Amino acid sequence: MVTSLIASRKPEYCQRSCNYCQKKVEFRIPTTLIHSVNVECYSCKQKNTFDISSEEPKVTNGTTTNSNNGSGSKKSRRLGTAQEPLETEYYEVLGVSPTASSNEIKKQYYKLALQFHPDKNKAPDAEQRFKKISDAYQVLSNPELRRKYNEFGKKNDVEPEGGFVNPEDFFKQQFGGDRFVDIIGEISIGRDMKEVLQHTIDEEDLTEEEKAHRESNKVNQEDERETIRQQRIDKLVANLIQKLSVYVDENNNNSAKEFRDLIESEADELKAESYGVELLHAIGFTYSLKAKQYLGSEQIFGLPRFGHILREKGHVFSETISTLRSAIDLQQSFKELQKAEQEGLDESEKTKLEEATATKGLTALWKGSKLEVEGVLREVCDRVLSDPSVSKNDARKRAEGLKIIGSVYEHVKGDDSV
């Protein structure tokens, strides 16, 4: 049986899913010519940016209100701009505005990547969300790709050269990336993150057999770590000696000013990398301290050197305590999140807790990586400056060059737009 004809009306509302809590939200289609809107979720109260360029505008008095020619027809836009991109899907995936700064995009990526990392998030769609988050960031973090995406959308080969990289590998590169490898080596961020996430399970929740297996694995992992560490140090020692040779070797005839200019140019490029300024400051502090220790040993009774040694010990102790506190804070947040999931916490409160945990996770990983980098570089500097194969004069020149690099790195300032 067919019912009688039912009257309909032109849609006035859009429906979307919240980028944070995934609840369906509904909002009225604007009557002005815009292509994206900011919408507050009724459930979690988070701000979402949605692309509505494909939606029909609301009709008023029989004519569309977004007409540019007075005819009442909808005018399509073929090219987007930085303020009004043709598509905003990538921005929506990251939960940022199309006008968000590079720094805002970077911070949001870290938070979401930690929140939806498959090792921590067991939701069925977590791995897919993690990949989408990584793909979106790989485009929006690259100025040229972001410009193309804003203008043409993602249907016009808007992707990194060689295609998108594996999100796990991409995430591992986020503290410094490849540009810092010759200076600090490979940071074990991916492995450290997995261990932090996996070890959030209480010991009391493990069986005796599981506890014994965990302890056995710890011993094997420590041996493997030490081997990798020594290989890393050997390579970095060779790299640093080569770098300092530009200043040390008499055949190069480079003055201190020329060497400093060279290092300043290098630092200006490195600071643009992810966490570049923070890494340069950490490296610079270590280089400067080690250079001053060596040069101070030439003073009467070596008192200046003794002062720098005390400063180093104080710094290591302070950084270690800060890192441990950060790790403990992260572990406690994971426990609270697990408890909230078991008790069925309100969705908006759960979202806030997840975001707080992701932020703490990023802080803990950065502090752990910084502590690791400084520890490795202290050993690298000691070996470079105590090299028995070089003369005392060349060793002193190495210390002078190291002091110049350290000074430049320590005083690097970041750009507000990065």
- Assigned token pair, 71: 């005819």
Residue 32 confidence (pLDDT): 58
- Average pLDDT of the chain is 75
Asked whether residue 376 is domain-assigned, the answer is yes
The domain tally of the chain equals 2
Contact between 333 and 356 (Cβ < 8 Å): yes
Largest CA distance in the chain: 106
Q: Average pLDDT of 52-60?
A: 52
Given a cut of 80, is residue 142 above it in pLDDT? Answer: yes
> Are residues 196 and 100 both part of a single domain?
no
Name beta bridge partners: 37.
50
Task: Give residue 171's pLDDT band: very low, low, confident or very high (50, 70, 90).
Answer: low
Residue 48 confidence (pLDDT): 77
Kindly report, residue by residue over 275-284, the tens digit of the pLDDT: 889 999 999 9
- Give one DSSP letter per residue of 246-287, joined into a string: HHH-GGG---HHHHHHHHHHHHHHHTTSTTHHHHHHHHHHHH
How far from 392 is each of 301, 314, 399, CA to CA, in Å? 18, 29, 11
Given a cut of 80, is residue 297 above it in pLDDT? Answer: no
> Are residues 193 and 120 both part of a single domain?
no
Task: Give residue 28's pLDDT band: very low, low, confident or very high (50, 70, 90).
Answer: confident
> Are residues 336 and 370 both part of a single domain?
yes
Task: Give residue 408's pLDDT band: very low, low, confident or very high (50, 70, 90).
Answer: very high
Given a cut of 50, is residue 201 above it in pLDDT? Answer: no
> Are residues 160 and 19 both part of a single domain?
yes
Instruction: Specify the range with the lowest mean pLDDT, choosing from 129-143, 158-172, 248-262, 344-358.
Output: 158-172
Whether pTM exceeds 0.85: no
Asked whether residue 250 is domain-assigned, the answer is yes
Contact between 184 and 279 (Cβ < 8 Å): yes
Residue 61 confidence (pLDDT): 38
Q: Average pLDDT of 330-342?
A: 73
> Are residues 159 and 23 both part of a single domain?
yes
Contact between 280 and 266 (Cβ < 8 Å): no
Cα 176 to Cα 104: distance, rounded to the nearest angstrom = 17
> Are residues 100 and 126 both part of a single domain?
yes
Residue 417 confidence (pLDDT): 41
Asked whether residue 418 is domain-assigned, the answer is no
Asked whether residue 397 is domain-assigned, the answer is yes
Asked whether residue 106 is domain-assigned, the answer is yes
Q: Using CA of residue 118, residue 123, residue 124, residue 130, what is the dihedral sign? A: negative
DSSP single-letter state for residue 24: E
> Are residues 48 and 155 both part of a single domain?
yes
Tell me which of 147 and 339 has the higher pLDDT: 147
Kindly report, residue by residue over 247-279, the tens digit of the pLDDT: 988 665 668 888 999 999 999 988 888 788 999
Given a cut of 60, is residue 221 above it in pLDDT? Answer: yes
DSSP single-letter state for residue 191: H
| CATH number of the structural domain spanning residue 128 | 1.10.287.110
Residue 416 confidence (pLDDT): 54
Tell me which of 120 and 39 has the higher pLDDT: 39
Cα 356 to Cα 342: distance, rounded to the nearest angstrom = 18
Instruction: Specify the range with the lowest mean pLDDT, choosing from 72-81, 91-100, 145-154, 293-302.
Output: 72-81
> Are residues 127 and 145 both part of a single domain?
yes
Q: Average pLDDT of 407-414?
A: 92
Neighbours of 214 (CB within 10 A): 14
Residue 235 confidence (pLDDT): 94
Contact between 375 and 225 (Cβ < 8 Å): no
Q: Average pLDDT of 112-116?
A: 78
What's phi and psi for 330, nearest 5 deg?
-65, -45
Q: 177 by DSSP, 3-state: which?
A: coil
Kindly report, residue by residue over 340-363, the tens digit of the pLDDT: 767 776 777 777 777 777 777 777
- Reported as type and span, the H/E element at residue 15 is strand 13-17
Asked whether residue 400 is domain-assigned, the answer is yes
| Domain hosting residue 136, numbered range | 13-57+78-172
Residue 164 confidence (pLDDT): 54
> Are residues 296 and 158 both part of a single domain?
no
Asked whether residue 416 is domain-assigned, the answer is no
Residue 380 confidence (pLDDT): 95
Residue 379 confidence (pLDDT): 94
> Are residues 239 and 377 both part of a single domain?
yes
Share of the chain above pLDDT 90, in %: 20
> Are residues 383 and 266 both part of a single domain?
yes
> Are residues 188 and 320 both part of a single domain?
yes
Asked whether residue 216 is domain-assigned, the answer is no
